[in-house]
Every structure is written in structure tokens, then in C-alpha cells.
Amino acid sequence: MTSVSPEGRCCAVVVTFNRAKLLRKCLHALLAQTRSLDHILIVNNKSTDNTAQLLAEEFPQLEVMHTTENTGGSGGFAAGMKEAHARGFDWLWIMDDDVEAYPDALEKLFRYRDLSDYVHMRKDLADGNWHFEGMWDLTVLTVRMFPKEVSFANGKDWMVVNYSNFEGPLIHRRVIDKIGVPDTRYFMYGDDVIYGLLASFHTNLLYINHTGFKKDFGWSKGMDRMSYYFTFRNNYLTLEHLRAIGMHVNNTSMWICNVRNLAWCLGHILRQPGQRKWNNLTAVWQGLRDGMRGNYHQYGRPPWLS
């Protein structure tokens, strides 16, 4: 692929794990962009389905990085972003395999390149447009989203946020120069949010009023063992990052956060049909235990995968 634009060279970094059907849609959408990509790098996180076969047979022109173990979303993005940065690409367009970019998505993102080194855009969900405007809430150690996007309703074309997601932001290499790649210890959940906060101290993180993606939740079965584990364990990683930048979060706030999460998770596990109750209750306990002990694998894998 040859660059046709003066903005600089852009590499898409796509992380995938066992979702070949969604990956096919994602890659076809990237190849159909009105602003052509200079390179596409797929990080295959040791998928056990037909992902490798799909890539070899249908997308032989694209580069694939096959990991030797499942490093989770955070490990996959860290590896892919590090490689693209080392290759000298100016911009990295990063995403999971379950988002499908509309043809003009990259073209629209680049219109804001002079305002920010980190640009997000809206996306469609099956039940409507996704809301991304919100603010950090230290009582839950994450971001609370508003029920509607007030800034866009008031006529703004873009807003500045201090958090992120890894479903299609366009990131300049200067961000990686400043803060490195995502923390691989997260494995999944929360790595994107804290990465956005760290990046916000170096550039304005923009969220633009343009819908550029469709997200497919068709594979999701809701909360599972992994979800419960990382809900608790990764709060302690986020706490570590917040304290490292000088944000005061005391132990009382942390326990309030744990109690609120515990009440919600226990209610969900015990009331919802189809829950593997013992496995999920054990995952909650393991997440709390490992978080409090600071017990993190290099790639943050839960104990039953280590």
C-alpha cells in the first residue's frame, strides 16, 4: 500500500483473538478506506480458531504478527504499537477485531490532525449510537459516561476527553515517544482508559462528532469469569497509575469501590440465569486477592491461564 496523502505514514494495528468472522469484516473495511492506509499489521493473539487460515488465504498481502501466547488485548496492542512505532510510522490507527470502519473514517480523523495527536470518533451499536462523553469518578476508579453527549447536543464539533478506548483512535507516534505503549499487565479491561489519561497530559484527546465505526456485540455473552476477575484485579493497577501521577486516592475510597463492585457482581451472578456461579464467585475472590497482593503476570493473565 502506498501513501496518497501528505499527513504522514499511517499503520493500522488490529488485535484479534478467535473472532475470524468479525476480523474478516474489519480488514475488508480497512482496505476500502477513502484515505488509503500505508500498512496494516494484525496481531494474532494465539487464536485457536481458523484465524491463521483466514489471514493466509484471504489476506496474504497483509502482515501478521503471531504471538506465542495469548497476551490479552493490552499485550496485543503493546506489541503491535511498539512494532509500528519502531518501523517509523507517523500515525497508528488501533482497533479490536469487532469494529468495522466506514469508508471515510480515516479521512475524517485526519482532518483533526493539527488539533490533536490522539483522535477518537463515534460509533454505531446495534441499539443505537454509542455515548463516550463522561468524566473520571475516583469512587469507581474509572470513567462514568453521561446518558447523552451534552457537548454535541450543544453544537460542538469536537470535545476534549482525558480517557480513551482502543476501538479506532488515531494516535501519533509522539504519544508513544512520551508515554510508551499500554501496560501489558492489564490483559484486558482498563488498559485503554488509563492510557488515555496518561496521554492527556501531553496532547488534547479529541472526540469528534462523526460516526466512523460499527461495533458488533454479537459474540458477547455478557459477564463471564474473565470479566469478574479483571473488574476487581485491574482496579489495583489503575490505582497504581493514579498514585504514580500524584492523584490522591486513599484506601477508604478503594474499599468503597470494591464494596460497590462486589454488591453488583454478586447480585448479577446469583440472579442471572446461565451464570456458572461457583467459577464466577471464585473469580471475584481471585481478582480481589491478586489485586491487593499486586500479583500480576507479565501479561496479566488470570491464574487459571497462567
Q: Where are the alpha helices (DSSP H) in the chain?
A: 20-31, 51-58, 72-86, 105-110, 150-153, 173-179, 191-199, 225-244, 251-271, 277-293
Residues 138-187: pLDDT tens digits?
A: 777 888 899 889 999 999 999 999 999 999 999 999 999 999 999 999 99
Pairing of strands 158-161, 205-215: antiparallel
* Inter-residue contact 229 to 284 (CB < 8 Å): yes
DSSP string, 112-159: TTTT-SEEEEEEEETTEEPP--EEEETTTTEEEEPSS-HHHHTT-SEE
Strands 128-129 and 118-125: antiparallel
Please tell me the predicted confidence (pLDDT) of residue 221. Answer: 54
The 10 Å Cβ neighbour count of residue 53 is: 11
Contact between residue 233 and residue 287 where contact means Cβ atoms under 8 Å apart: yes
Does 1 score more than 70 pLDDT? no
Identify the band that residue 108 occupies on the pLDDT scale cut at 50, 70 and 90: very high
Q: What is the pLDDT of residue 218?
A: 52
Q: What is the pLDDT of residue 98?
A: 94
Q: Report the greatest alpha carbon distance in the chain.
A: 56
The answer to whether the CB of 134 falls within 8 A of the CB of 144 is: yes
- Cα distance between residue 201 and residue 184, in whole Å: 21
CA distances from 305 to 78, 132, 152, 225 (A): 20, 32, 43, 12
Radius of gyration for the alpha carbons in the chain, expressed in angstroms and rounded = 19
d(CA 111, CA 208): 10
Q: What is the pTM of this model?
A: 0.92
More confident residue, 304 or 247: 247
* CB 37, CB 28: distance < 8 Å: no
Selection from 200, 76, 215 nearest residue 135 by Cα: 200
* Of residues 42 and 296, more confidently modeled: 42
Q: Which of 165-179, 255-269, 287-301 has the highest mean pLDDT?
A: 165-179
Burial 146-161 (b: 16+ CB within 10 A, else e): eeebebbeeeeebbeb
Predicted local distance difference test score (pLDDT) of residue 206: 97
